[in-house]
Each structure stands twice: as C-alpha cells, then as structure tokens.
Amino acid sequence: MSLLAKKRSAAMAAKLKDSGLKATPQRLAIMRVLAESKGHPSVDDIYRRLQRRFPGISPATVYRNIMLIKSLGEAVEISLAGSASRYDGRKPYPHPHIVCVECGNILDPELASLGDMTREVTAASGFEIKSFRLDFFGVCPACRKKSGS
C-alpha cells in the first residue's frame, strides 16, 4: 500500500470516528479500495473487488457507503451520461478529468491554467460557487493506436 493510500485511508477513518459512525469491516474495506485505486472505480468495480474478502457483500452496501464517504467530503463523484458514476478517493476535491470514450479509462491531468476561473465566474454571475466539474472527452493514446486514427 502506497504512502498516499495509507494517508487517505487514515483520513477517511478519522472522519468516521469524528462523526460517531461505526467502523464496519465492509465500510473500512470500501474506504481502502477508494484510497488505493488510481483508476476511478465504479460502484460495481468496488463491489466485485470486495467479493473475495466479503463473499456475501451487497451492492447496496457499496452504494450506501460511497454516498456516506462523499458526504464526509472524502471522495468525489464523476457522473457520466449513460453509464455508472466513477469515484475518486485520492483527490477528494474538485479537479479536472480526461475520459477516454473508447475504453472508459479516466485520468487526472495536470492543468496549470485553472486557477482563477472560479473567481472569474463568481464575479461575472453573482453565484456562490460551491464546486465545479471539468471533464475532457477524447481517445487515449492506446485506443488511438488500436483504431488506427
């Protein structure tokens, strides 16, 4: 387990305790998967990954806990049109994504030119901005090679 994963896992568990919620094995395992996954897993990904260790686990439990972890501010949801949402427990704050429309992979790009966009929008609209989402859709290098584009 990487250093970041340990850190994120610990942060999530701490938030749990602070909120007076129970440290269920399933719940902790879901947190660990979120903390370790670099690839933005879906609920079903997490569900299938946990079936080895929890043969009787229910998808409902994964949904419930993802919802909880989100509400604790310890994961972000990437909602996509026409397919299941994906989650990021390693960067639990709004950040841009690149989605490959061929294979479904999702990456976290580094994006320098992003800073004062929120400020600009706030000033122009009078909205109180709570969050944002910035997603790019395209074809990843591997899929470009395959389709010969």
Partner DNA sequence: TCGCAATTGATAATGATTATCAATGATAGC
Partner DNA sequence: GCTATCATTGATAATCATTATCAATTGCGA
Tell me the closest approach of the beta carbon of residue 78 to a copy of itself, in angstroms. 9
- Which residues of this chain interact with Mn ion, rule CB under 5 A? 88, 108
Instruction: Rule CB under 7 A: say whether 56 interacts with DNA.
Output: yes
Single-letter amino acid, residue 66: I
Q: How far is the CB of 15 from a copy of itself (least distance, A)?
A: 22
Separation of alpha carbons 53 and 78, rounded Å: 26
Q: Rule CB under 8 A: which residues touch a copy of itself? A: 77, 79-82, 85, 96, 98, 100-101, 107, 109-114, 116-118, 120-122, 124-141, 144, 149
The residue among 103, 101, 102, 92 whose CA lies nearest residue 135 is 101
Give 36 or 88: the residue with its C-beta nearer to Mn ion: 88
In the block, tokens 């305790």 appear at 17
Bridge pairing between strands 76-80 and 106-107: unpaired
